[in-house]
Structure 1
Amino acid sequence: MTSAQQLRLPETVLSAMWSALPSVAERTVAGVVAEVPSYADAFSGRMGRTIGKAVQQALEGFLKEATDPHPGQGASSIGPALDGAYTLGRGEARSGRSTDVLLAAYRVGARIAWRDLSAIAVSHGLAGDALALFAELVFAYIDQLSAFSVSGHADELALTGLARQRNREQLASQLLNKAEAEHLIMAAERADWSPPHTLTAVALPVSQERGVVGMLDPRTLRAADDSHDPAGNAVAILLVPDAGGPGRSRLFESLAGRCAVIGPTRPWMDVASSVHRVMRAVELNLAAQMTVDTDDCLTDLVLRADPDALDDLRAKVLAPLADLRPTAKDKLIETLRAWLLHHGRRDDVAATLFVHPQTVRYRIGQLRELYGDKLEDPTTVLQLTLALGAAPTG
């Protein structure tokens, strides 16, 4: 701030300014309310008293600073005003107003205060060079106050944001651990989190998370986890509110072009089952190239729930083919799978395999020779269907 030693205001001017200070403060507050819509309801209750006090302190601090005859002691004269500006910034952050709104209020306040104070100076015949220096001091002082308020605003956001983030991580952890309902409700209150009707788990690479979160419901939780896909890449688990029904298509749009897995929609307290399913899909590498809905992969998920058991079942039901050459064995397995899926309709099997129906007839004849009457046994047919319904796990 420009040295106050250079400004010498006559005692009559100073006296008039001090006398007018309360009314100047009132007009400043009224001007901010009128010109900055976000402050229309702010000057009531505790916050209103804090703002009014900050305006009064600011004007008093300025007059003391601008007329302090002792060099090097200016900081002590405006200390309370700067503290008030810092406190104001923190309060504004808690009230949800941005720094843009806060700085707009400062600009309006500075204009009104300067208009009133300069009118007093001019009415008492203050010289032009002194008036110019006075203006310089006013706006330098406002810059100081603004900087302290912005700093307070940032500190409050950092403090409350960190606490909220920590509480939401704890809430997500309790959801995954299936905590009791009363504990989940208390955790949601601590996290300042309004529970949705449902939550849907989404797994995606950590590298793609930032581009997605901004498009999702602000209540989306992130599960603190060290999950990885089969390639060793870190995976983020998001719990997205109310993404069922019509919301599911919007969720797909948000995840377009990403290797994400979308789990089933569950009541918010039961989201752990959705997380379990998406992680199982990740383990099976079902979303290696695109966004996948686990609702479309239920067969794979069921059949591959126990990979060792599936391998054993495959070995058991394919034992009649064990002595064949690998090429012949693969062709018969492929034919048997298509025959089961198409319920023995030869033309459909041929179309699926891109072979002639006579080729299908020949291969089915080979299979009947190898399996005998077992191909007519419902239990064997069921076992073959299960064994061949998913890709080999080994």
Structure 2
Amino acid sequence: MSGDQARQQIPVAHEVSGRAELAALMRPAIPSLVEWIVREVWQAVPVYARHGRVTRHGVECAVVLFVDLVEDPLAPRERLYETCRRLGAGEAYEGRTLDDLQAAYRVGTRAGWRWIMRLGRRQRLSSAVMARLAEMLFGYADDLARMSIRGHREAEAELGGTRAGLRRRLLRLITGPVAPTDAVVAELATAAGWPVPGEVAAVVLEAPVEPCWGPEVLADLEPPQPCLVVPAPADARFLAALDVRVAVGPPVAPSASAQSLRWARTTLRLVGEGALPDVPVTWCAKHLTTLWLLCDPALADQVGRQELAPLAGFPDRTRRRLSETLLSWLENGGNSEKIAVDLSVHPQTVRYRVRQLKEAFGERLEDAETRFAMQAALRASALRLPDLSP
């Protein structure tokens, strides 16, 4: 409803002589005044247009109580004060300041005063009555704002104690076995004060560290394997400053953090086993093939036993030499000269070993799919046992 329509609801009456009579003049226009103030607030502070029911309820409570106070200054205010306190707390819980809410109060107060001035002109209210109404309105608006400030401060104090727990809960949710929806992540992130990035990377730490990061980092420092979730791409300087060995998972969507964490944990394990270089920061993205080959050691063993079964009959030393020769033969397309350089042996030695391999494997060496499986099994074995030499 427009301001003109709200104005038309103001009845023309005789000279006003008391509080009850003044309140009686105002009550019929309450519904139209509420609609007008709501629209003014929505236009000036668009964020509240998305929460229309809450805005309208708050404005209606405020207008009705103001008219009650015009009639009786001792009218109970507790219900409205609680509403204002909750509005302020709600801003804190959503991670916002009071700027929008205070702007809404100012807009509503100005709209209310314009309506009162029109009432005064039509009813020919005295300057004394208008002065009293102005004092009441602006003092009333200050009271409401103070209650919202109180609610905001109380909520911030509460969040200060619970936010750390909410952030751990959020981290465990996004790294858990069931991927959460984006809506669930957004809701909990708001409560936890975590600005949701487009992509994240999980970071696994060898040992707990003292927190030295901002709100953009989620952390769970509980043993045995503390971890972080950081915005991607991860800051190399920040990771180095942690001063412990870490592994950084590949970038993923926040709801898929569990995948990044799984790869980061596998990477740190492989570093500890010697399959990957021992450096302060290991980036999964640089070792994806190794991770793929070694992500499931038991499965890799099964593939090796199946695809390399013909080598099982040779003595250990011979088996290791034939294994490395077979891998080089697969990688170099059977070129004896290249294999000899690769293995630092004479080409004649290569040809002798290749004959042994062909006798052992037969036609399987001619099958492309079998060769691929053999190469994968041999690579996995070489990565897991890098110290073995022929």
TM normalised by structure 2 equals: 0.52
Inter-partner Cα distance in structure 2 for 1:368 and 1:287: 32
Check conservation: 1:259, 1:287, Cα contact below 8 A.
no
Check conservation: 1:313, 1:383, Cα contact below 8 A.
yes
User: What does residue 264 of structure 1 align with?
Assistant: 250
User: What does residue 170 of structure 2 align with?
Assistant: 171
Is 1:348 the equivalent of 2:334? no
User: What does residue 139 of structure 2 align with?
Assistant: none
2:282 alignment partner AA? V
CA separation of 1:333/1:235 partners in 2, compared to 1, >3 Å: closer, same or farther? same
2:263 alignment partner AA? R
Aligned length: 228
Q: Pick from 274, 278, 282: which aligns with 1:289?
A: 278
Give the gaps of 5 or more residues in structure 1: 1-95, 97-155, 227-233
User: What does residue 190 of structure 1 align with?
Assistant: 191
Q: Tell me, what secondary structure is at the counterpart of 2:313?
A: coil
Is 1:223 the equivalent of 2:228? no
Q: Tell me, what secondary structure is at the counterpart of 1:222?
A: strand
Is 1:319 the equivalent of 2:309? yes
Report how far residue 168 of structure 1 moved: 0.9
CA separation of 1:354/1:329 partners in 2, compared to 1, >3 Å: closer, same or farther? same
Inter-partner Cα distance in structure 1 for 2:221 and 2:181: 19
1:389 alignment partner AA? R
Inter-partner Cα distance in structure 1 for 2:375 and 2:300: 11
Identity, % of aligned positions: 29
Report how far residue 288 of structure 1 moved: 7.0
Report how far residue 264 of structure 1 moved: 0.7
Check conservation: 1:200, 1:266, Cα contact below 8 A.
yes
1:304 alignment partner AA? L
Check conservation: 1:217, 1:240, Cα contact below 8 A.
no
Inter-partner Cα distance in structure 2 for 1:202 and 1:337: 34
Check conservation: 2:193, 2:215, Cα contact below 8 A.
no
Report how far residue 345 of structure 1 moved: 2.8
Inter-partner Cα distance in structure 2 for 1:161 and 1:359: 72
Per-residue Cα deviation, 1:87-129 (whole angstroms, up to 9, x for no partner)? xxxxxxxxx9xxxxxxxxxxxxxxxxxxxxxxxxxxxxxxxxx
Give the gaps of 5 or more residues in structure 2: 1-96, 98-154, 386-390
Per-residue Cα deviation, 1:226-284 (whole angstroms, up to 9, x for no partner)? 5xxxxxxx32111011x32xx555456546x7421110111223222211221232344
Q: CA RMSD in A?
A: 3.2
1:189 alignment partner AA? T
Inter-partner Cα distance in structure 2 for 1:352 and 1:374: 23
Check conservation: 1:259, 1:288, Cα contact below 8 A.
no
The ranges of structure 1 where at least 4 consecutive aligned residues each deviate by more than 6 angstroms after the TM superposition are 156-159
Check conservation: 2:239, 2:246, Cα contact below 8 A.
no
User: What does residue 279 of structure 1 align with?
Assistant: 265
Report how far residue 307 of structure 1 moved: 2.6
TM normalised by structure 1 equals: 0.51
CA separation of 1:331/1:163 partners in 2, compared to 1, >3 Å: closer, same or farther? same
Inter-partner Cα distance in structure 2 for 1:376 and 1:191: 59
CA separation of 1:204/1:352 partners in 2, compared to 1, >3 Å: closer, same or farther? farther
2:278 alignment partner AA? Q
Report how far residue 172 of structure 1 moved: 0.9
Once the two structures are superposed, the pairs formed by residues 293-312 of structure 1 within 5 Å of their partners are 293-312=283-302
Q: Tell me, what secondary structure is at the counterpart of 1:266?
A: coil
Is 1:338 the equivalent of 2:328? yes
Inter-partner Cα distance in structure 2 for 1:354 and 1:161: 65
